[in-house]
Amino acid sequence: MSELLTAAQMRTAENTATDAGQVTGLELMERAGRGVVEAVFEEWPTLAASRHKAVVLCGPGNNGGDGFVVARLLKEWGWEVEVFLYGDAAKLSPDARVNYERWLCLGTITSNESLEGGYLSANFDLVIDAVFGTGLSRPLTEDAWLFCKEMYKAGIDVAIDVPSGFCSDSGRFLGESRSDFEGPLSVALTVTFERLRQGHALLPLAGVLRACAVKSIGIDQYLPDFRRETSVSYLSGQARIGASRKAVLNSTAQSSSHKYSHGHTLVLSGGAGRTGAARLSGRAALRIGAGLVTLGVPGSAQMEVASQVTGIMLKRVDSKEDLSGILEDERINVLCLGPGLGIERAGGLVPVAVAAGRACVLDADALSAYEGRPEALFDLVTETCILTPHGGEFARLFPDLAAKLNAPSLDGPAYSKVDATREAAARAGCVVLYKGADTVIASPDGRCSVNSALGERAAPWLATAGSGDVLAGFIAGLLARGFSPMSAAETGAWLHVECALSFGPGLIAEDLAEELPKVFKRLCS
C-alpha cells in the first residue's frame, strides 16, 4: 500500500467498479462511512465503550454523503449526533440525498446560525469534517469558508478523505491564504480510502495531519496499474525498503569482497575554512557502504582536512586539469560535488566532473553556480546524474516552476511539488530530488516518490546545518554500491530520515551517518 493516488485516479477506480456492476455508488458511500467509524474506534478505543456527542458538518457532494452515513452509524451506536449542512438540500448529489433522507429518519439538520460563538468546541467530543473531499475544484466561496472556519476554530477531530479546503492532489489550500484565521490548523485523524491521496504526503497539508487511516472500500482491483510510470510511491513506514535494497545494505555490514568492488566515491571539497560540508558528505558515503572515499581538496585546505579525517583519502584538486588527471583512475565510479564547494570553484569543476560520464551527485554550490543560466547545466548532465536542490536552489534552476508552485492556486487540482519535480527532471534529463520535509524525487521517465519526514515520521530536528551534505553523501555512497540514480535517491532519502528518527532530538549533522549502523542492524535483523 505504498502508492499515492490523485483524485482523478480514485474517481476512475470508483467509476470502473460501478460501471462493471460490481458495486453501486451508494454501497461505496456506506462502506466509506463504515470505514470512518471503524477508524475512529481504532484510534480512540474508549470512544466505542460509552455514549459521546459528535457533530458532523456535511457538504453538498459525496463527501457530505459519507458524513450522513457516519452520523447515522454513530447515532445507531447510541451517540448523540448533530448534523450541519452547507448548501441546499435540494441540490445534494443523488447518493448523498439518499443518505440525507436516511439521516432525517433519525435526527434533524441544525440551523447554521447556531454554528457561531464557539458552539462546536463547547458542545461536542468529536468534530467531523465532511464538507468537501476530493471534489473541491475551486477556492472556498466566502460562505463556504465561514462554515468551515468554525470547524477549523473548534479543531477538526476527524476529516473524511481530506480536510475541507485542501486540494487532495497537491496538499495546498486552494485560494489566497485566509487573514481571518490564524490557526494553528491541525486535524487529529484523517480517514481516506484504499490509498493515501498524493496531497496527504505533501506540505502544507501533510504538516496539518496528525494521523491518517486508510480504509478499504473494496475497489483495490480497480486502482491503476502501479507498475506503470505514472504512479507516485510513498516512501514511508518500516516496510518501505525493498528486499533487493535491503540485501545490498545488509552486505555493506557483512561483505568480505574487495573494497574496490564497493565503488570509489570522489567528493570535491571547498577551500580552507569551508571543508566541513564535504567531510560530512565523504563520511556519509563511507558509512553507507562506498568501498573507498577520496576528498578532492585544494592545496590551501589540505592540512585542515588531513587533521580531521580518518578512513578517507585525500587528493589535491586545485584545477580542472587536476580533476581530469584523477579521473583517469576508472575505479572512481561516483562524484559528489557542491557541499561547501564555492560557486566559482563549482563553475570550473562541474563540467569536467559530469563529462567524465560517472554517476554524479550535484548539490548546493554545484547547482547555485548555474543560477541565471540553468540550460548550461541541463546541456551537461546525463541520466547518470542526480540534482538535489532545496527550495532556494530549485528556484535558481527552475524559476518558472517555482513561481507556479508559489502562486495562489485558483483551480483544483493545484500545481503540486510532484508536478514541479517531474517537470524539472524531464527538463534536466536526470533524477531530481527536491528536498524538504516532503522530499519529492522524480526521474525523467515520470517515476516519482515522496519521502516524508512528517506525521508519524516527523523529525523536525533533521532541519539542521549540514544535514543536506550528509544526504548528498548517502546518495553518492549508494551510487558507488551500484544503485541506480532513482533507487539511490529514494533509499538515501529514506535512510536519512530513519537515522534522524533513530537518533532523536538533539541531533546534529555529524550524528546522522554515525547512526547508520544502528539503523542497518534493525533493518537487517
Ligand X SMILES: NC(=O)C1=CN([C@@H]2O[C@H](COP(=O)(O)OP(=O)(O)OC[C@H]3O[C@@H](n4cnc5c(N)ncnc54)[C@H](O)[C@@H]3O)[C@@H](O)[C@H]2O)[C@@H](O)CC1
Show binding-site residues for (6S)-NADPHX: 62-66, 133-139, 161, 277, 340, 390, 469
**Alpha helix segments (H runs only) across 242-357:** 243-254, 276-288, 302-306, 320-326, 343-355
Minimum distance from residue 205 beta carbon to K ion (Å) = 12
Cα(499)–Cα(513) distance, rounded to whole angstroms? Answer: 7
Identify what 164 binds: ligand X, K ion, none; CB under 5 to 8 Å per kind: K ion
3-state class (DSSP) for residue 213: strand
Distance of alpha carbon 197 from alpha carbon 135, whole angstroms: 13
Residues 349-385, buried b or exposed e (16+ Cβ, 10 A)?
bbebbbebebbbbbbbbbbbbbeeebeebbebbebbb
Whose Cβ is closer to K ion: residue 129's or residue 419's? 129
Angle, vertex CA 74, rays to CA 73 and CA 80, nearest 5: 140
DSSP-based three-state secondary structure for 359: strand
Q: Which residue's CB is nearer to K ion, number 151 or number 476?
A: 151
How many residues touch ligand X (CB under 6 A)?
29
Kindly state whether residue 244 participates in binding ligand X, applying the rule CB under 6 A.
no
The residue whose grid cell reads 568480505 is 256
Distance from CA of residue 87 to its chain's centroid? 34
Is residue 60 a contact point for ligand X (CB under 6 A)? yes
Query: 126 forms bridges with which residues in the sheet?
Result: 54
Task: Choose, by CB under 6 A, the member of 160, 386, 414, 428 that binds ligand X.
Answer: 160
**How big is the site for K ion, counted in residues (CB under 5 A)?**
5
Residues 6 or more apart whose CB falls under 8 angstroms from that of 50 comprise none
The answer to whether residue 66 forms part of the interface with ligand X (CB under 6 A) is yes
- Residues 201 and 205: their CA atoms lie apart, in Å, by 7
**Residue among 199 and 289 whose Cβ is closer to ligand X:** 199
Phi-psi map region of 257: left, alpha, beta (phi>0 left; psi -120 to 50 alpha): beta
- Which is closer to ligand X, CB of 140 or CB of 507? 140
d(CA 268, CA 315): 9
Cell match 555490514: residue? Answer: 253
Q: Does 62 bind ligand X (CB under 6 A)?
A: yes
CA dist 512 and 280 (Å) reads 9
Asked if 164 is part of the footprint of K ion (rule: CB under 5 A), the reply reads yes
Choose the binding region for ligand X from 127-135, 201-209, 299-307, 366-374 (rule: CB under 6 A). 127-135
Window of 62-70, 228-236, 271-279, 418-426 that interacts with ligand X by CB under 6 A: 62-70
Query: According to the binding rule CB under 5 A, does residue 160 interact with K ion?
Result: yes
Binding segment for ligand X among 22-30, 205-213, 299-307, 454-462 (CB under 6 A)? 22-30
CB 110 within 8 A of CB 144: no
The listed partner (K ion, ligand X, none) that binds 144, CB under 5 to 8 Å by sort, is ligand X
Give the one residue of 114, 121, 141, 406 binding ligand X; rule: CB under 6 A: 141
Q: Which residues are annotated as a binding site for K(+)?
A: 63, 129, 164
Please report whether residue 129 would count as binding K ion according to CB under 5 A: yes
Interface residue with ligand X among 5, 6, 13, 25 (CB under 6 A) is 25
Under the binding rule (CB under 6 A), the answer on residue 359 touching ligand X is no
Residue from the set 99, 134, 265, 487 that interacts with ligand X by CB under 6 A: 134
List all residues 6 or more positions away from 63 whose beta carbon is below 8 Å from its beta carbon: 130, 131, 132, 133, 134, 135, 160, 161, 164
Binding residue (CB under 6 A) for ligand X from 47, 59, 213, 431: 59
Binding residue ranges: 62-66, 129, 133-139, 161, 164, 277, 340, 390, 435-439, 468-469
Residue 135 partner contact from ligand X, K ion, none using kind-dependent CB cut-offs of 5 to 8 Å: ligand X
The string of DSSP letters for 123-150 reads H-SEEEEES--TT--SPPPHHHHHHHHH
**Residues contributing to the annotated binding site for AMP:** 435-439, 468
129 binds ligand X (CB under 6 A): no
Span of 60-68, 371-379, 381-389, 517-525 interacting with ligand X by CB under 6 A: 60-68
340 binds, among ligand X, K ion, none (CB under 5 to 8 A by kind): none
Q: How far is the CB of 142 from ligand X (least distance, A)?
A: 9
Q: Where are the alpha helices (DSSP H) in 390-466?
A: 391-397, 399-406, 417-428
Q: Which residue in 434, 435, 432, 427 sits closest to 443, CA to CA?
A: 432
Q: Is residue 144 a contact point for ligand X (CB under 6 A)?
A: yes
What minimum distance in Å lies between the beta carbon of 412 and ligand X? 7
Positions in the binding site for ligand X (CB under 6 A): 14, 25, 28-29, 32, 59-66, 93, 132-141, 144, 160-161, 193, 217
Positions in the binding site for K ion (CB under 5 A): 129, 133, 159-160, 164
